[in-house]
Amino acid sequence: MKKEIDEKCEKEHPFRSGAQCVIDGLVKEGCEVLFGYPGGAVLDIFNCLYDAPFHFVLSRHEQGAVHMADGFARATGKTGCCLVTSGPGATNTVTGLATAYMDGVPLVCITGQVPLSMIGNDAFQEADVVGITRPVTKHNFLVRSVDELPSIIAQAFYIASTGKPGPVVVDIPKDIQRQMTQQPIPETVQMRAYKPHIEFKQADVQALAEMIGASERPVLYVGGGAIAGEASAELLQLAHRAEIPVCTTLMGMGAFPENDSLSLSMLGMHGSVAANYAVDKCDLLISVGARFDDRVTGKISEFAKHAKVVHIDIDQSAIGKSVRCDLGVVGYIKPVLTALLAILPAKSHKEWVDRTQRWKDRFPFTYPASKEVIMPQFVIEQICEVSNGKATIVTDVGQHQMWAAQHFCYTRPRSFLSSGGLGTMGFGLPAAIGAKFACPDDPVVCVTGDGGVQMNFQELVVAVEHKKPVVTVILNNGYLGMVRQWQEMFYGNRYSGVMLGQSNRERSERIDEGKEFLPNFVLLAEAHGACAVRIFKPEDVAPTLKAAFESKKSWVIECIVEPEACVFPMIPPGQAVTAMINRTV
Amino acid sequence: MNNIINCLVENEPGVLARIVSMISGRGYNIETLNVAPTQDRKVSKMTMVVPGDAHIIEQVTHQLTKLVNVIEVVNMTNQRHMNRELILVRVASKNHVNRSEIVDLATLFNAKVIAVQEDSVTVQMVGNQDHVSDFLHLFEPYHIMDISRSGVIAVGREVAAAKPVS
Ligand SMILES: Cc1ncc(C[n+]2csc(CCOP(=O)(O)OP(=O)(O)O)c2C)c(N)n1
């Protein structure tokens, strides 16, 4: 009798190893691709991975794996998954985790750990991963018993994807991966302290509707939260219902179509004149899932100084953090906007919109055109044109990132992926590969600099290997351009530690066809199995891009561009909109 | 201004580290900190005294609330409450010099002399924040050899505030 019961129980809840629980948990959560890198402390999980129904992608550096999972998550809204070993494997993920954390990207990162009994003994490849990653994750777990593993995996995904999303680390000691448990995967996650289901207050929405009704010069200021909250459709309706011009942050790019008559494009340090003027002159600023980053506000006391400020955010702590707040609406953005639309009467702000339109007409993003030299901004325009605006743009960090934001017309959410909060050079290429895994049918373009691309160049081989063609466009100016620009503008032209590209190159000189390239990106790309070309002339840009898009292969297109182009407009850090510099020639 | 913040947390390994690292990582200070289990074994109460203006305290409260293991955060300073701190202070009194003065002072504060040694008197005092600071102020002229403070603890007085823990 006893034996029968045991057998029945065993059938319903078979024994599984901790490692198998990890794989089963990932399957249950709908993991499609797992990015990672093996090592001693995760061998058991890799052993189970052998039979897993989802795809495993081997990166060439753990940072690359996390950025790939991040790119996958940004492109889809699904939770990205990665798996690495203990010690150095785990510490290599830190930059990737911090990048995802700052931008609120849902990730689950599984790390191996030395056996439980050896923790704290400075064992081989031991690192205090929970301690190291605590400030750069939304939450992390050290698994202490195999029986809690199934529910921890479920909790990790729940935490990563709800509320303000973010990365979660699950650190699993090796012995726990080998132990057996009968614990099933929980059907639902119940956590005592973590309650992400915030109900907004209808009264706040009512107050907001009244403020819009009373406003003559409203502006919507849209951040990444509107994309994470899938609220683009509601946003579009709202803007048109009450005729409100819309500017977006770098992270909010694409949440509102930039070809819409109400779009003012990006605001902030390198934002459009129209967006920054509008925020300066508005009487009501409605922030939608934006967090008033200092790259947006500049001098806080001058920011939107004539306006009542409304913050709509899922994160209570983001409300009133740096900028005063006349009304805070805490809640998920989509339901908040839906409730607002249900009560908001149509309204015209024609005079105000006309005024913003005049700024748009007068001060578009512009640059000195050239027939001889490739202007970096021109390359971005051509990417937009050749792809019919359909490309997903993934960037590194620097001047090219700002030009990519300014000169491409973004019309759909998740079409511009960039490390906004942390500003991580090296993000672009691996994140682009992750995005390509997520959207294999869309053209994915990594816009990068000669500096940033070298930080994770090794990942190119992954795109080639898995036939996930990514077009990498290197805007090679021979400098760490953004740093050079600051040295030019704020440090008396003293270029210190920013020259790249050719040894003994004269300052201000363009990379020269006749000399040796350092590194030779074309050879480097070819060594990784990609197609590659170096171009010097503006007329070569469009045909090269076209060929690359049509080839369905991974390409590296190195554009030798004007070396000392600067990103304008620019509001110097910590200053007000009145200090805006807008050199166009 | 000092604020007394009560924070109910899941009683799990590493929770204290999470709270302390968030507070220090964001540049806030903790003046005193007390942690102990509650009537529910799975829940601990942390009481911390955090200096700062209203804006800072609001941020601290929100950032604490955001932590996954934090159940509830209450700024006790904003409501009727009682707070107490226990201090043990060892005051030098070599060859019994000053001893009666010290004992007198202690008596005024309802404090107890809990040890007398050749070189010192040890006093135990329990009081709210005001009493504690008055007490310490009056002891300043003496040579304090050692002092240990429990950190402030507090309970609410309002009926509605006495929520069940779970
Ligand atoms: C990992 C990392 N290190 C340093 C920086 C600082 N930084 C910001 S932009 C920049 C220059 C980027 O140069 P490049 O990749 O050539 O792009 P460009 O600005 O020339 O377009 C640097 C060094 C950073 N953002 N990230």
A316 touches chain B (CB under 8 A): yes
The domain tally of chain B equals 2
* CA–CA gap between residue B10 and residue B14 (Å, rounded): 10
* CA–CA gap between residue B74 and residue B161 (Å, rounded): 9
User: In a 10 Å sphere around its CB, with 0-12 CB exposed, 13-18 middle and 19+ buried, how is residue A406 labelled?
Assistant: buried
* CA–CA gap between residue A123 and residue A171 (Å, rounded): 15
Domain ranges of chain A: 2-181, 202-362, 376-560
To probe the interface with B, which of A161, A194, A323 has the most B CB atoms within 10 Å?
A: A194
pLDDT of residue B158: 78
Q: Is residue B26 part of a domain?
A: yes
ipTM of the complex: 0.88
Spatial contact of A475 and A449, defined as CB atoms under 8 Å apart: yes
- Exposure string over B7-42, b if 16+ CB within 10 A, otherwise e: bbbbbeeebeebbeebbeeeebebebbbbeeeeeee
Shared domain for B29 and B63, answered yes or no, is yes
| Sequence-ordered strand ranges (E) for A270-339 | 284-288, 308-313, 327-330
Shared domain for B11 and B33, answered yes or no, is yes
* CA–CA gap between residue B47 and residue A549 (Å, rounded): 60
Shared domain for B32 and B52, answered yes or no, is yes
* CA–CA gap between residue A527 and residue A524 (Å, rounded): 5
Provide the domain limits for residue B94.
82-154
Which residue type, as a one-letter code, is found at position A110? I
Per-residue pLDDT 10s for chain A (585 aa) are 556 666 666 677 889 999 999 999 999 999 999 999 999 999 999 999 999 999 999 999 999 999 999 999 999 999 999 999 999 999 999 999 999 999 999 999 999 999 999 999 999 999 999 999 999 999 999 999 999 999 999 999 999 999 999 999 999 999 999 999 999 999 999 999 999 988 999 999 999 999 999 999 999 999 999 999 999 999 999 999 999 999 999 999 999 999 999 999 999 999 999 999 999 999 999 999 999 999 999 999 999 999 999 999 999 888 888 899 999 999 999 999 999 999 999 999 999 999 999 999 999 999 999 999 999 999 999 999 999 999 999 999 999 999 999 999 999 999 999 999 999 999 999 999 999 999 999 999 999 999 999 999 999 999 999 999 999 999 999 999 999 999 999 999 999 999 998 777 888 888 888 888 999 999 999 999 999 999 999 999 999 999 999 999 999 999 999 999 999 999 999 999 999 999 875
In the predicted structure, residue B122 carries a pLDDT above the cut 50: yes
Q: Which residue has the tokens 């691309």?
A: A453
pLDDT of residue A2: 58
pLDDT of residue B98: 85
- Exposure string over B64-94, b if 16+ CB within 10 A, otherwise e: bbbbbbbbebbbbbeeebebebbbebbbbbe
User: Would residue A62 show up in a list of annotated catalytic residues for this protein?
Assistant: yes
CA of A373 to the centre of ligand 1 (A): 22
Show the tokens assigned to A62: 């753990």
Q: Is residue B116 part of a domain?
A: yes
pLDDT of residue A3: 63
| Domain C-terminal end among B78, B95, B118 | B78
A160 touches chain B (CB under 8 A): no
Show the tokens assigned to A127: 């690192």
To probe the interface with A, which of B38, B46, B58, B66 has the most A CB atoms within 10 Å?
A: B66
Shared domain for B68 and B110, answered yes or no, is no
Q: Which one of A92, A374, A397 would you pick to mutate in the ligand 1 pocket, going by the greatest count of ligand atoms within 8 A of its CB? A: A397
Q: What backbone phi and psi angles, to 5 degrees, belong to A519?
A: -80, 170
CATH number at B44 reads: 3.30.70.260
Spatial contact of A419 and A99, defined as CB atoms under 8 Å apart: yes
Classify the C-alpha dihedral A367-A369-A370-A376 as positive or negative. positive
Shared domain for B55 and B113, answered yes or no, is no
CB contact (8 A) between residue B21 and residue A191: no
Identify which of A150, A207, A128 has the alpha carbon closest to the alpha carbon of residue A29: A150
User: Would residue A378 show up in a list of annotated catalytic residues for this protein?
Assistant: no
| CA A21 vs CA A14, A149, A178, B119, B154: distances in Å | 11, 7, 10, 64, 43
Q: Is residue B6 part of a domain?
A: yes
* CA–CA gap between residue A327 and residue A215 (Å, rounded): 14
* CA–CA gap between residue A421 and residue A298 (Å, rounded): 15
DSSP B149: E
CATH assignment of A376-560, among 3.40.50.10780, 2.40.50.100, 3.40.50.970, 3.10.20.740: 3.40.50.970
In the predicted structure, residue B166 carries a pLDDT above the cut 50: no
Q: Judge whether A2-181 and A376-560 match in fold.
A: yes
CATH assignment of A2-181, among 3.40.50.970, 3.30.1340.30, 3.40.50.300, 3.90.1200.10: 3.40.50.970
Looking at domain A202-362, its CATH architecture is: 3-Layer(aba) Sandwich (3.40)
CB contact (8 A) between residue B13 and residue A159: no
Q: Helices in A242-365 by DSSP H: which ranges?
A: 273-281, 294-297, 333-343, 350-362
| Domain C-terminal end among B17, B43, B78 | B78
Shared domain for B91 and B140, answered yes or no, is yes
pLDDT of residue A216: 98
Shared domain for B58 and B97, answered yes or no, is no
Show the tokens assigned to A226: 């509107």
Q: Is residue B163 part of a domain?
A: no
In the predicted structure, residue B70 carries a pLDDT above the cut 70: yes
Residue B56 has a CB neighbour count (10 Å cut-off) of 17
CATH number at B139 reads: 3.30.70.1150
Catalytic residue among A32, A54, A118, A125: A125
Q: Which one of A61, A250, A425 would you pick to mutate in the ligand 1 pocket, going by the greatest count of ligand atoms within 8 A of its CB? A: A425
User: Would residue A56 show up in a list of annotated catalytic residues for this protein?
Assistant: no
Spatial contact of A62 and A93, defined as CB atoms under 8 Å apart: yes
Helix/strand number for chain B, H first, E second: 4, 9
Q: Is residue B166 part of a domain?
A: no
CB contact (8 A) between residue A192 and residue B63: no
| Domain C-terminal end among B43, B78, B113 | B78
Shared domain for B70 and B102, answered yes or no, is no
Q: What is the mean pLDDT of residues B126-146?
A: 93
SS3 B74: strand
User: Would residue A509 show up in a list of annotated catalytic residues for this protein?
Assistant: no
Shared domain for B66 and B86, answered yes or no, is no
Dihedral angle over CA of A306, A311, A316, A318, nearest 10: -60
* CA–CA gap between residue A453 and residue A196 (Å, rounded): 38
